[in-house]
Amino acid sequence: MSVVARKWQELAEIKEELAGRDWFPGTSGNLSIKVNDDPLLFLVSASGKDKRKRTMEDFLLVDGEGRVVEDTGLKASAETCIHLEVYRNTTAGCCLHVHTVDNNVVSELYAEQGFVTFRNQELIKAFGIWEEDGEITVPIVENFADLPTLAKEVAGVIETNTKAVLIRNHGVTVWGKDGFEAKKHLEALEFLFSYHLKMLMLQPRWTASPATAAHA
Ligand X SMILES: CSC[C@@H](O)[C@@H](O)C(=O)COP(=O)(O)O
Residues placed in the known binding site:
97, 99
CB 135 within 8 A of CB 129: yes
Instruction: Give whichever of 93 and 171 is closer to Zn ion, judged by the CB atom.
Output: 171
Contact 153, 84 (CB under 8 A): no
Tell me, residue by residue from 157 to 186, as one string, x for binding to Zn ion by CB under 5 A and - for no binding: --------------x---------------
Total site size for ligand X, rule CB under 6 A = 12
> Per CB under 6 A, does 30 bind ligand X?
yes
Interface mask toward Zn ion for 115-154; x: CB under 5 A: ----------------------------------------
DSSP letter string, the chain: --HHHHHHHHHHHHHHHHHHTT--GGG--EEEEEEETTTTEEEEEBTT--TTS--TTSEEEEETTS-BSS--SPPB-TTHHHHHHHHHHS--SEEEEE--HHHHHHHHHTTTTTEEEEES-GGGGGGT--STT-EEEEEEE---SSHHHHHHHHHHH--TT--EEEETTTEEEEEESSHHHHHHHHHHHHHHHHHHHHHHHH-TT--SSGGGGGG-
The site partner of 168 among Zn ion, ligand X, none (C-beta below 5 to 8 Å per kind) is: none
If one asks whether residue 148 binds ligand X (CB under 6 A), the answer comes out as no
Residue among 8, 29, 109, 189 that touches ligand X (CB under 6 A): 29
Give the nearest distance from C-beta 77 to Zn ion in angstroms: 9
- Work out which of 19, 36, 47, 74 binds ligand X, going by CB under 6 A: 47
Q: Provide CB contacts within 8 A for 211, sequence distance 6+.
A: 117
Nearest to ligand X of 69, 147 (CB atom): 147
For residues 29 and 66, which CB has a smaller minimum distance to ligand X in the complex? 29
For residue 149, state whether it binds ligand X (rule: CB under 6 A): no
Site for ligand X in 104-133 (CB under 6 A): none
Q: Which is nearer to Zn ion, 170 or 212 (CB)?
A: 170
Residues that bind ligand X (CB under 6 A): 26-30, 45, 47-48, 77-79, 97
